Amino acid sequence: MSDLNLYEETAREAAIAYGNKSLIDYSSIGESDDEVWNRRNLLPQKPRKVPKGIYFLTAGSQEDIKTLISPWPEKEDPFTQSDLLDSEEDMAQEIIYRIKTTLSVPYRERLANRLLTLVNDAKEEDPSSPGITVGSLRSFYNFFQSHPNLKYPAISLMPEDNIYASWRSEQNRLFSVHFLPNGDTRFVIFKPNERHPDKQMRISGIATTDILMETVTPYGVWDWISE
């Protein structure tokens, strides 16, 4: 079978993998404003108050990994679209800061800098854009936190400002992952057909971030994307 489409099968798995767990992380409570990262002063810093409430992360639940928390600024005025965008920007900024400081990969600073470049690229053409979708960033963080031995990928955005990461290697091998905001990923694999070297296998599918790598393991992806 040279071409295989995994959509139906993995969609079924995805439904199972979601579960209904909520992850709670208290790690940002009490963080002072001075500690909030300032994206190397590329964007104006706004004073924020950290609310006392607890924040829940519901998508892409994974055990035994560090989880994210992104406090919403306390609002006294009616909530507007502009406020929402500002809050998403703050959350995106905080997740990129966590990638830069806490991710267990040797290239975390390079990764964060690339994401900042993409935020600025997105905003250069559309100043109203939050830069990178917060849910996509969260999935991206969780994926690398779960798989710290991955090689550094090529990172770009999709039209909806979700993260798209690709690992290419010689012999026409490709593994690309689109990190969707809801914790799903859509992936693409190109690889040589070992029995028919003149042909290529092309596979695409969908899986939650937490089961992505086990889903693609049968295709030998680890061989060219991990250190």
Partner 1 sequence: MKGDKIPNQHHITRYCQPKYILDGQIQPGAFKLRAGEESLSVNWLEFLNCSSRESEIAEIQNIYSTKLNVGGRAKIAVLNVGEVRQKVLTESPDGRNLEVIHDSSTDDPSHSGIYNLKQDDELIAELILETVHEAYSART
Single residue of 113, 200, 220, 224 touching partner 1 by CB under 8 A: 200
Query: Is position 70 an interface residue for partner 1 (rule: CB under 8 A)?
Result: no
154 dihedral zone (left: phi>0; alpha: psi -120 to 50; beta)? beta
Which of 139/176 has CB closer to partner 1?
Answer: 176
Out of 144, 164, 167, 179, name the contact with partner 1 by CB under 8 A: 164
Q: Does 159 bind partner 1 (CB under 8 A)?
A: yes
Does position 166 bind partner 1 by CB under 8 A? yes
- Contact string (CB under 8 A) for partner 1, positions 99-128, x = contact: -------------------x--xx-xxx--
Query: Is 5 one of the binding residues for partner 1 (CB under 8 A)?
Result: yes
Residue closer to partner 1, measured from CB, 28 or 200: 200
For the chain, give the secondary structure using H, E and C. Answer: CCEEECHHHHHHHHHHHHCCCCEECCCCCCCCHHHCCCHHHCCCCCCCCCCCCCCEECCCCCCCCCCCCCCCCCCCCCCCHHHHHHHHHHHHHHHHHHHHHHCCCCCHHHHHHHHHHHHHHHHHHCCCCCCCCHHHHHHHHHHHHHCCCECCCEEEECCCCCEEEEEEECCCEEEEEEECCCCEEEEEEEEECCCCCCCEEEEEEEEEHHHHHHHHHHHCCHHHHEC
Q: For partner 1, which stretch binds (CB under 8 A), given 52-60, 73-81, 88-96, 183-191?
A: 183-191
Which C-beta is closer to partner 1: that of 61 or that of 179? Answer: 179
Instruction: Report, in Å, the least distance between residue 9 CB and partner 1.
Output: 14
Residues that bind partner 1 (CB under 8 A): 3-5, 118, 121-122, 124-126, 154-161, 164, 166, 174, 176, 178, 186-188, 190, 200, 202, 204, 206
